[in-house]
């Protein structure tokens, strides 16, 4: 059985139809997904509104390197947030720029200071900031997609496609990622878009 850690809190500081989750053990915090390009001011305002100081964010994690998930990663780094990168994501970082236009004011993510780890190393890193859980490689929406799974069953899945919505994606890969999450104890899905959803046998239960 998973045990719920009483001290873990989850707040959404999202905007523009995208959820950005602050997972905290007290004031030791992890930011999951990192804004749209050129929106550092908006991100900062939303963090302040939720009483989150940037200096309390120990790491920033992008579930994958698409522009609405890692758009202000570099600005956050410059503000003192360490960028946590899984080894399966490294190659995707420079590719993200292709999807930005000059008017987006996207600031290139440099390798400087990035903390690159494997999924196997994630549990001990998270333990070090008081957050019990692990990071899993959950491809399907993109090859570099990862999910944060807390010991209490909360799963931060980014854009991992709900089984009912599979289109262009490789169905087997998507199903395998949901299967992995379920096997590791995921019960509640915190997606990057839309409301929090419970898991069922296939994946998250969608409404409507
Ligand atoms: Zn995406």
Distance 1 CA to ligand 1 centre (A): 32
147-181 pLDDT, tens digit each: 999 999 999 999 999 988 888 899 999 999 999 99
Q: How confident is the model at residue 1 (pLDDT cuts 50, 70, 90)?
A: very low
Q: How confident is the model at residue 201 (pLDDT cuts 50, 70, 90)?
A: low
Distance 69 CA to ligand 1 centre (A): 7
Percent of the residues in the chain that have a pLDDT greater than 90, as a whole number: 87
Distance 6 CA to ligand 1 centre (A): 31
Q: What is the mean pLDDT of residues 121-128?
A: 98
pLDDT over 50 at 57, yes or no = yes
- Which architecture does CATH list for 8-198? 4-Layer Sandwich (3.60)
Distance 57 CA to ligand 1 centre (A): 23
Distance 193 CA to ligand 1 centre (A): 10
Say what the pLDDT of residue 203 is: 72
pLDDT over 70 at 6, yes or no = no
Say what the pLDDT of residue 206 is: 65
Find out whether 20 and 14 touch, Cβ atoms under 8 Å: yes
Say what the pLDDT of residue 144 is: 98
Distance 95 CA to ligand 1 centre (A): 13
Distance 165 CA to ligand 1 centre (A): 14
Say what the pLDDT of residue 165 is: 87
* Three-state DSSP string of 94-157: HHHHHHCCHHHCCCCCCCCCCEEECHHHHHHHHHHCCCCEEEEECCCCCCCCEEEEECCCEEEE
Q: How confident is the model at residue 40 (pLDDT cuts 50, 70, 90)?
A: very high
Distance 145 CA to ligand 1 centre (A): 8
Distance, in Å, from the CA atom of 200 to the CA atom of 11, rounded to the nearest integer, reads 23
Say what the pLDDT of residue 2 is: 43
Q: How confident is the model at residue 200 (pLDDT cuts 50, 70, 90)?
A: confident
- Delimit the domains of the chain by residue range: 8-198
Distance 22 CA to ligand 1 centre (A): 19
| pTM (two decimals) | 0.94
65-103 pLDDT, tens digit each: 999 999 999 999 999 999 999 999 999 999 999 999 999
Find out whether 150 and 107 touch, Cβ atoms under 8 Å: no
Distance 73 CA to ligand 1 centre (A): 15
């Amino acid at each position: 059985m998973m045990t719920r850690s009483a001290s873990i809190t989850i707040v959404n500081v999202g905007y523009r139809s995208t959820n950005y989750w602050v997972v905290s053990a007290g004031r030791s915090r992890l930011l999951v997904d990192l804004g749209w390009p050129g929106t550092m001011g908006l991100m900062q305002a939303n963090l302040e509104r939720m009483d989150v100081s940037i200096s309390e964010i120990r790491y920033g994690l992008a579930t994958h390197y698409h522009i609405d998930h890692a758009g202000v990663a570099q600005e956050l780094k410059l503000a003192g947030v360490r960028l946590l990168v899984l080894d399966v994501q490294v190659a995707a970082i420079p590719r993200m720029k292709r999807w930005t236009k000059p008017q987006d004011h996207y600031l290139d993510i440099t390798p400087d200071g990035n903390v690159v780890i494997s999924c196997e190393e994630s549990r001990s890193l998270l333990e070090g900031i008081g957050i019990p859980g692990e990071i899993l490689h959950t491809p399907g929406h993109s090859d570099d997609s990862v999910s944060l799974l807390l010991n209490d069953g909360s799963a931060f899945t980014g854009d991992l496609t709900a089984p009912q919505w599979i289109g262009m994606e490789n169905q087997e890969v998507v199903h395998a990622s949901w299967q992995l999450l379920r096997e590791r104890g995921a019960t509640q899905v915190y997606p990057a878009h839309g409301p929090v959803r419970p898991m069922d046998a296939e994946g998250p239960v969608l409404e409507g």
